[in-house]
Amino acid sequence: MTPETNPDIIAQSSLRLPGLFIERLRRRGGFSMVQQHFHRELEVYYQVEGRRQYFVDRRSFLSEAGTLVCIRPGSIHMTQPAGAEAVNDRLLLNISSSFPLQAEALLPPAETAALFRQPFMLLALKGSDRLFLDGLTARFTALTQQDALSAQAEVVCLTLALLRFMMSHSQDRLPAEVFQTGPRQQKVYEAIRILEKEAALNLSLDELAARLFISKFYLCRAFKEVTGMTVNGYSSAVRIRQAQDLLLDPQYSVAQVAGQLGFSSLTQFERVFRRLAGQTPRDYRAERRQGRLDRP
């Protein structure tokens, strides 16, 4: 979408390079993601202005201006409005593990790998750190308005600088109260643990609610409020993420993977896989065998 097709968008620009996608988006009012998602790139999200409610890896928290979030590949995540917001402005980067070979020479390999493995990083930037990120954001934005060829060299340098910055803060820890851990959140996190541990059972809402000793109506309402997702939507994402791992094993056919994860038919599995992963299970397996995809 563009400002011409969506009047809520104030400004939008993006740039795609090998192993890297950058987008700056400034829009009016609150909005919700269409569906939960996960992807095989490292996602870096910088909140320039506004507030967003985030859910990542069984944690929910508030992202305010100056918040930097780094989400590892394969993490199911969702954002939704945090109250009435006049403007939401953010910078987004999706960085592949195959990001330019320059990174191997300029960044410590072990620390680079750690960024792709840790559940997620959450930094509330202040002072000089925030000024540094604001400066990077302004320059990234300017470069997204240029053609890829002329912008590539500087974009790579800026992205490496951002990765270095995150590495230098990798041991920083926010106080526990930043994360929302009330009784409702705890019940939802318990539901998530069951869904992830017992994905193959494809538990019904009634079965899951009974395990938690709550009504299914309370479960649905609380789950949506905390995560921004439906229970069934999250369950589908968990099973597709696990399916991606099983598809790497040649001993399993696509039909066996579908059955092992509780899908009622191969057709249903392929439809859900395509919707969440953007391709068919067979295409995913073929591309992985050819080494053309990063590990999620």
Same fold, 9-177 and 183-289: no
Fold held by 9-177: Jelly Rolls (2.60.120)
Question: What is the chain's pLDDT, residue by residue, as a tens digit (296 residues)?
Answer: 455 567 789 999 999 998 899 999 999 876 666 555 788 889 999 999 998 888 887 788 888 999 999 988 888 888 887 776 678 999 999 998 777 655 555 666 666 676 677 767 889 999 999 999 999 999 999 999 999 999 999 999 999 899 889 888 877 766 555 677 788 889 999 999 999 999 888 899 999 999 999 999 999 999 998 888 899 999 999 999 999 999 999 999 999 999 999 999 999 999 999 998 889 999 999 988 876 555 44
| Distance, CA of 237 to chain centre | 12
Domain regions of the chain by residue span: 9-177, 183-289
Distance from C-alpha of 89 to C-alpha of 223, rounded to nearest angstrom: 26
CATH architecture of the region 183-289 = Orthogonal Bundle (1.10)
Predicted structure pTM score: 0.81
Helix residue ranges, H only, the chain: 102-106, 109-117, 127-144, 148-168, 183-197, 205-212, 216-227, 231-246, 254-260, 266-277, 281-289
